[in-house]
Amino acid sequence: MSTKNRKNELKKERREKQKRQKSKSKNMSFFDSEYQYISTKRTFGLCDDEPPPHKPAYLDETNGSKWIAIVANDAQLEVKFVALDHCIKLLKSDGKTADRCSDGLLTYNSTIIFVELTTATHKNWKSDKDEQLRITISHFEKTKEAKQYDVKKAYIANSKKILRSSYQSRMDKFLSETGYDLRIENRIVI
């Protein structure tokens, strides 16, 4: 086979691989995680223990000292938390596993909330967590499941006391670029 033909074959193989990857992300389910929790409590928390080892985030109803995000569910709706990080693999267009995924998501009725949990205090923690949410949401929006939700939100929750500088411009930009309403706070109101 000539060099030119071989190059054409390689290009064709790459295009087919990219098509398969796109098809996989459309067929991928964000709800395949074995780490799913349901709560109807008025108040519960979301936790993500410090590594090592790297374990999925989880919902907790009893140990408030571990809660990074506090979920206020006054109507006591059935709320599902699905752990994502360390549970699902998001593939980049080149077919490699993406290195970042948000910690999890909450769903109830026709609402979905992607959640990024942190205890970080370094200068760029908001930017890092914002990027993780964007990557995850981008993958989710390629799935059929995304059409099931009318209300779409995202939270960056930090259990550490943080200075309340204005996040409005970041939140507005996030909404216009992703279609998700972003909040930077550790209290999630259902």
Check residue 39 and give its pLDDT: 96
Confidence of residue 14 (pLDDT cuts 50, 70, 90): low
Q: What is the pLDDT of residues 68-125, one digit of tens each?
A: 999 999 999 999 999 998 888 887 777 766 657 899 999 999 999 999 998 877 778 8
Q: What is the DSSP string of 100-133?
A: ---SEEEEETTEEEEEEEE---STTHHHHHHHHH
Rounded to an integer, the average pLDDT of 154-166 is 77
Check residue 119 and give its pLDDT: 85
> What is the rounded distance in angstroms from the CA atom of residue 147 to the CA atom of residue 61?
30
User: Does residue 53 have a cis bond before it (omega within 30 degrees)?
Assistant: yes
pLDDT cut 70: percent of the chain above it: 78
Q: What is the pLDDT of residues 23-44, one digit of tens each?
A: 444 456 788 778 899 999 999 9
Q: Is pLDDT above 50 for 21?
A: no
User: Does residue 51 have a cis bond before it (omega within 30 degrees)?
Assistant: no
Q: Is pLDDT above 90 for 177?
A: yes
Q: What mean pLDDT, rounded, does the chain reach?
A: 83
Rounded to an integer, the average pLDDT of 173-188 is 92
Confidence of residue 50 (pLDDT cuts 50, 70, 90): confident
A 10 A CB-CB count for 67 gives 21
